[in-house]
Amino acid sequence: MNTVNTKPYHHGNLREEMVRIGVELAAEGGPEAVGLRETARRAGVSPSAAYRHFPGQDSLLEAVRHTAADALGQSMQHAVSEVAADAPATEQVIAAGRGYFEFALNRQMLFRCLASGFELPEEDSRDSPFARLLELVGGLKREASAVVDDHAARFDAAVALWSAVHGISVLCTSGALRDVPQPRKRELLEVTLATAVRGLRF
């Protein structure tokens, strides 16, 4: 049962609290559940106070999407961290793909906020899911003795990997494969990742 704060909001950063509640709402009902009025109600503030931080529902949802993307990136990083540090780059890439997929599978409503993907990272950023893929692709290139500063080739390879893992994640959570048993979903993920990595050329 959800608890609602009925007292005026007196502490901390209201914008941060609204984003936290927005993520909570998204985790419960997907992006459609993220509303300014409900967020304000749960925070115990007036709608006018909420509008001072977010001019509209779209701006709140965008902040929620950024937080969801950060959580997705952390899931990928955690999966990679469980692989031996000296493991081949291919294993690290596959581990990141598994972390991406597990986030989608276990946090389906929140993942729906990212169904159309997410913004590409700022230059030199290493925090977004796509930035992590770029970094891992760099490892693959080094193992292949390829030119490591060819940004265009790294970008193309990262997009190919992103397309594969995001596509199978969407199919298995809200698409045509949503009713397939989970063990079979994970088998399909492994086939997808192996095919995607094998198809990379530098």
Answer whether 174's CB lies under 8 Å from 114's CB. Answer: no
Nearest to 42, CA basis, from 58, 68, 22, 71: 22
How far apart, in whole angstroms, are the C-alpha atoms of residue 33 and residue 72? 20
CA torsion sign, 143 to 146 to 151 to 153?
Answer: negative
Answer whether 126's CB lies under 8 Å from 135's CB. Answer: yes
How far apart, in whole angstroms, are the C-alpha atoms of residue 110 and residue 129? 15
Q: What is the pLDDT of residues 12-38, one digit of tens each?
A: 699 999 999 999 999 999 999 999 999
Q: Where are the domains of the chain?
A: 67-198
- Give the per-residue pLDDT at 142: 79
- Give the per-residue pLDDT at 4: 46
Mean of the per-residue pLDDT values of the chain: 88
Answer whether 75's CB lies under 8 Å from 111's CB. Answer: no
How far apart, in whole angstroms, are the C-alpha atoms of residue 5 and residue 40? 10
Q: What is the pLDDT of residues 107-136, one digit of tens each?
A: 999 999 998 777 776 655 566 899 899 889
The ranges of the chain with pLDDT < 50 are: 1-11
- Give the per-residue pLDDT at 154: 87
- Give the per-residue pLDDT at 141: 77
- Give the per-residue pLDDT at 85: 86
- Give the per-residue pLDDT at 119: 78
CATH for 67-198 (2.40.128, 1.10.287, 2.40.160, 1.10.357): 1.10.357
Which residues have C-beta within 8 Å of that of residue 120, sequence separation ≥ 6?
128, 130
